[in-house]
Chains A and B, each alone.
Chain A
Amino acid sequence: MDACGLATRSQTVMRRGLSRRWRRGRLASVAELRNVIVFSIARSAGGGAARYALELRWVREVVSLGFITSVPTAPAAVSGVCNLHGTILPVLDISGLLGEECGPPARQGDGALVIELEGLVVALRIDQVDHVASLHETGGAVVDGAGRTLTLLDPAKLLRRATELVTAAGAGEPAPS
């Protein structure tokens, strides 16, 4: 919303560019403008931080987490649960969901993005919000102002992975009747 004027202008430019390309009949890769939040997560191994982008429309809130209760039988990518405005929210580890080594366990006071998708509300633990911007997406990645390429996270895929992991962990327990 804050980047609205910019977005509208560049969208117009984009569209013009697109239609030109359409006319020329070679639509190789379509770049679309996305309003994203860019954030980073500290890597547990090797140091440094991984930076990702996530479309703003999925983000309900950026919060500082309350007390995290660990859920012993949950997969490692579920850091625990916490109370957000009286609702119990799973706190997920993005690295774990992406199939990498999980980051440090979430702790009270850590930052998190609360995302809502298809009836699921979860908190994704993050270390730092870098900025919010309108960036061009090409093939699942965006390029930030400094020319660096960032992975644009697909929240549907992340939650699907989380569901798979939890279901697998649940199946490891004695099966319910």
Chain B
Amino acid sequence: MSEELDFDPEELAMLRELFRGEAQDALETVTTRVLAAGSQKPSTEVLTELMRVTHTLKGAAGTVGLNAMVDLAHRLESALAGIERDTVPWMETTADQIVEITDGMRGYLDQHDTPAAEPLVEGIRDQIDQIVRPNRRRDSIPPAFVEPPPEPVLEPTPEAPAPEPKQYLRVEPNRIDDLMSSAGELLFDRTRIERRVQLLRTLARDLARTRQTLHDSLGSTAPASVPSRANLVATENELAAQAALLSQTTAALLDEIEALRRTIGELQRGLTRIRMESARSLMTHAARTLRALRRATGIHVELRTLGEDTEFDKAVAEQLVDPITQLLRNAVAHGVEPAEERLAKGKPVNATITIRARQDGNLLVLEISDDGRGIDTAVLRERLVATGSWTQARAQLANDAEILDALLGTGVSSRGNADELAGRGIGIGIVRQTVSKLGGEVKVSSTPGRGTTFSLRLPLSTALAQAMLFKVGGQVYAIPNVHVVDTTLVEPHVTTTTVKSEALPVLRLEQLLGHGPSHERKPGVVVSFAGKSLVCTVDKLVGPREIIIKPLGPLLAPLTLYAGATISGSGKVQLILDPAQLVRRAYPDAPAQALSDTGSVPMVLAGRALVVDDSRAIREAMTSMLGREGWIVDVAEDGARALQMTRQMRYDLVVTDLEMPELGGFDLIARLRNDERFKSTPIVIITSRANPEHRRRARDLGVRALVAKPITRRKLLEALATR
């Protein structure tokens, strides 16, 4: 389907996603316009607009390689043209049919990469045929005063067998939309930056050439003469121009990086929002747990909840269910006194457990307090000594807070011990472990006779990922599981090893991570990234784990080997290796990026180009293609905007679509030709409708080339070569 496309898969996916949004809008326009007309034939104006919209759709679909969509849009456009010219009859049902067709096309957009797409396209094609040739169907139905409802042509798409229930994240659609647009932005930011980098390369080469010129003239032994002085002046001028361009480009690059930073920020915020959930579900869960506990123990405890609206990460919420259950259980079993004891102390018979959620800066704070007997630190102190965990001296010197911390097992022996000490049943150690894994902390405070408060302090958001953990040189490292395809054994001293009949390079992690070479057979982790695989030798496999990825921070960011770090249950930092970097080390000669793999710096500084098209997908595709040829590209969404831009900037190339709202392509070109500065500027037309009349007009206006959509890199290069 995409054999002739010029984008890397990532870029294509992004362009398609962008196209999808654009196409949805276009189809929506068709639907609303047709519905607004009701059963009446829409006005010529409306029909023209609809034809333009479907036409744009066609062109954009071709550029992103959705050929079935090209076909459908083409058919729909022809049908609309027929209606406009009255060669296709407008009937009462036509409006409904068009709406159905656009709905079908929207459905196709969602499923174009599934097996269901094929029959769907067939169905839509038939529907369009029925509009164009209504008689075929009308013959078959008896004339009636009430039109029958249109037959459902679309078969319900067969459900794929769902062997096991999957987990879904319910997210408000607008949160996704925001993300999509940020993600799209990201690609464009990248493209813009790549473009500038290309330009900088060219400049660097130009500068080197100028320097050579200077060097030559300085080195010439000929006596200083007037011509050589003129040469020097020329070189100086050249240098000045290059310096100006350099500072201009650097400034633009800085702007673009700032834009990138903003986009990344938006994306991060968007992602965080998507994963947010209010504390309410946790509180509901707590209430259920307490009811169950009451049934089991007969102890009646009231639950008071505060801050239900505090939002936090869904992943965090899921992980917190167990710790909270544990803490509630502890409070009921050990914290709360029997009724008579409470009465004797003048407390209400029913104990209260309060769960309070609040946000404190970047932290989520969850406090679980009971109004029970509290923790007797004197007793705890004795137990610490009695069990041999602490020395007498240490226990005496420690303050109450430190003694309470010991309850959580921080820094002392095993958690089993700590739990035993606390006499609080199992699980407090688990609470600490879970919270620590989430990158948080547990604090406990207690007033004897008044109650105990456990406060869990957690980061507001976390990125949970599956990772493969392993040991190298006594330290645990992780690689994201999505990039780990297999594990194997590697013989000593080999540089390649065969995995599933494929010879893969071996990367000795022990050496990469600063340990001496080893002479043993070692476990290997098969890592695959961007189509390249390698085997990393490790000392010992730990196994797959769910981890929270945390940044290493700005200071260590330049160490590209690490994608971040995670914190283990015991609070240790474990480094995450970046699979991209591992691949780069195993394939040192491989090109780093599609951008540099051509290895060809553009031969000439192409200059500044203006791309005019009403489809954003096409604009960005063109920008990307031209950018790779070394052009600096500006874009305009219609002729009017383009005209405005040409007033402020000179362009060395204009690439324009023909059919656009406001000001069409030919009108734009005609006006540009009237402008002294654009009299002979190369202009290339991109269109999907190149008839002889168009060609004639184009020739008259001095257009260099007409390129048929969909645009490919080859076609574009040919068009540029005609210069």
Instruction: Report A's interface with B, CB cutoff 8 A.
Output: 66-67, 69-74, 78, 81-83, 85-90, 119-122, 159, 162-163, 166-167, 169-171, 173-177
Contacts and interface: CB of A to CB of B under 8 A. Distances in A.
19 contacts: A67-B570, A69-B574, A69-B575, A70-B475, A72-B473, A74-B556, A83-B573, A86-B439, A87-B550, A88-B551, A88-B573, A90-B556, A120-B555, A122-B555, A166-B556, A170-B560, A174-B584, A177-B592, A177-B595
B556 A81 contact: yes
Interface in B421-439: 436, 438-439
A166 B559 contact: yes
Contacts of B556: 71, 74, 78, 81, 90, 166
A71 B567 contact: no
A162 B550 CA distance: 21
Interface string B537-577: 00000000000001111111011111001010011111100
Question: Among A90, A121, A174, which residue has the most Cβ atoms of chain B within 10 A?
Answer: A174
B571 A69 contact: no
Contacts of A171: 558
Interface in B316-342: none
Contacts of A163: 555
B573 A69 contact: yes
- Number of contact residues on B: which range applies? 35 or more
Given A70-B475, A73-B561, A166-B558, A86 B440 contact: yes
B573 A82 contact: yes
Contacts of B552: 81, 88, 90
A93 to B, nearest CB: 13
Given A175-B592, A176-B592, 7 more contacts: A72-B561, A73-B561, A86-B439, A86-B459, A90-B555, A90-B556, A122-B555
B514 interface: yes
Interface in B499-522: 512-514
B588 interface: yes
A157 B565 CA distance: 27
Nearest to B473: A72
B561 A88 contact: no
Contact of B559 (A69, A73, A162): A73
Interface string B464-506: 0000000001010000000000000000000000000000000
B593 interface: yes
In the A-B complex, the 3 residue pairs with the smallest Cβ-Cβ separation, listed nearest first, are A170-B558, A177-B592, A86-B439
B219 to A, nearest CB: 33
A134 B562 CA distance: 42
Nearest to B513: A72
A39 to B, nearest CB: 21
A88 B553 contact: yes
Contacts of B593: 177
A169 B512 contact: no
Nearest to A109: B411
B588 A174 contact: yes
A10 B440 CA distance: 44
B441 A85 contact: yes
Contacts of B473: 72
Contacts of A167: 558
A66 B570 CA distance: 10
Contacts of B561: 72-73, 173
Given A70-B475, A72-B514, A86-B459, A173 B555 contact: no
A74 B558 CA distance: 10
B383 interface: no
A83 B567 contact: yes
Identify the interface centre among A72, A74, A88: most chain B CB within 10 Å of its CB: A72
A68 to B, nearest CB: 8
A4 B448 CA distance: 36
Contacts of B414: none
A120 B439 contact: no
Contacts of A71: 556, 559, 562, 575
Nearest to A174: B584
Contacts of B571: 66-67, 83
Contacts of B553: 88-90, 120-121
Contacts of A85: 441, 457
A83 B559 CA distance: 18
A75 to B, nearest CB: 9
Contacts of A87: 439, 550
A67 B475 CA distance: 11
A87 B458 CA distance: 11
A1 B556 CA distance: 34
A81 B572 CA distance: 9
B280 interface: no
A173 B559 contact: yes
A95 B668 CA distance: 68
Contacts of A69: 475, 565, 572-575
A73 B581 CA distance: 13
B558 A162 contact: no
A166 to B, nearest CB: 5
Contacts of A81: 552, 556, 565, 573, 575
